[in-house]
Amino acid sequence: MRVDEQLKLKGQIAFVSGAARGLGFAMAEAVAEQGAHVVMTDIDADALASAADRLRAAGGAVETIVLDVSDLDAITRAIDGIVAAHGQIDIVFANAGLSAGSGPRTEAGAMANVDLARWNALLNINLTSVFVTIRSAAAHMIKRRQGRIIVTSSIAGLRGEPMCGYAYASTKAAVANLVRQSVIELAPHNVNINAIAPGPFLTDIGQGRLRDPHVASQFVADVPLGRLGSPHEIKGLALLLASPASSFMTGAVIPIDGGASAY
Ligand SMILES: NC(=O)c1ccc[n+]([C@@H]2O[C@H](COP(=O)([O-])OP(=O)(O)OC[C@H]3O[C@@H](n4cnc5c(N)ncnc54)[C@H](O)[C@@H]3O)[C@@H](O)[C@H]2O)c1
Domain boundaries, the chain: 3-256
Q: Which atom of ligand 1 is nearest to the CA of 231?
A: 16
User: What's the CA-to-centroid distance between 188 and ligand 1, angstroms?
Assistant: 31
Is there an atom of ligand 1 within 6 Å of 204 CB?
yes
**What dihedral do alpha carbons 115, 118, 119, 125 form, nearest 10°?**
-170
d(CA 152, CA 29) in angstroms, rounded, equals 16
The CATH architecture annotation of domain 3-256 reads 3-Layer(aba) Sandwich (3.40)
Q: Say if CB 241 and CB 148 are below 8 A apart.
A: yes
Radius of gyration of the chain measured on its C-alpha atoms = 18
**What dihedral do alpha carbons 54, 59, 63, 66 form, nearest 10°?**
-10
Is there an atom of ligand 1 within 6 Å of 182 CB?
no
185 Cβ contact partners less than 8 Å away, ≥ 6 residues apart: 138
User: What's the CA-to-centroid distance between 50 and ligand 1, angstroms?
Assistant: 17
User: What's the CA-to-centroid distance between 70 and ligand 1, angstroms?
Assistant: 13
- Residue 1's pLDDT is 87
Q: What DSSP designation does 127 have? A: I
Active site residues: 168
User: What's the CA-to-centroid distance between 2 and ligand 1, angstroms?
Assistant: 34
Task: Name the residue of 25, 42, 153, 163 whose CB sits within 8 Å of the most ligand 1 atoms, as the mutation to test its pocket.
Answer: 42
User: What's the CA-to-centroid distance between 15 and ligand 1, angstroms?
Assistant: 15
Is there an atom of ligand 1 within 6 Å of 98 CB?
yes
User: What's the CA-to-centroid distance between 105 and ligand 1, angstroms?
Assistant: 23
d(CA 236, CA 188) in angstroms, rounded, equals 27
Q: Which atom of ligand 1 is nearest to the CA of 25?
A: 16
Is there an atom of ligand 1 within 6 Å of 83 CB?
no
Q: In what order do the strands lie in the sheet with 253-256?
A: 61-66, 37-42, 13-17, 91-94, 147-152, 191-198, 253-256
Q: Which atom of ligand 1 is nearest to the CA of 20?
A: 39
Is there an atom of ligand 1 within 6 Å of 17 CB?
yes
Is there an atom of ligand 1 within 6 Å of 164 CB?
no
Is there an atom of ligand 1 within 6 Å of 121 CB?
no
Is there an atom of ligand 1 within 6 Å of 205 CB?
yes
Q: How many CB atoms lie within 10 A of CB 160?
A: 10
**pLDDT by residue, tens only, the chain of 263 residues:** 899 999 999 999 999 999 999 999 999 999 999 999 999 999 999 999 999 999 999 999 999 999 999 999 999 999 999 999 999 999 999 999 999 999 999 999 999 999 999 999 999 999 999 999 999 999 999 999 999 999 999 999 999 999 999 999 999 999 999 999 999 999 999 999 999 999 999 999 999 999 999 999 999 999 999 999 999 999 999 999 999 999 999 999 999 999 999 99
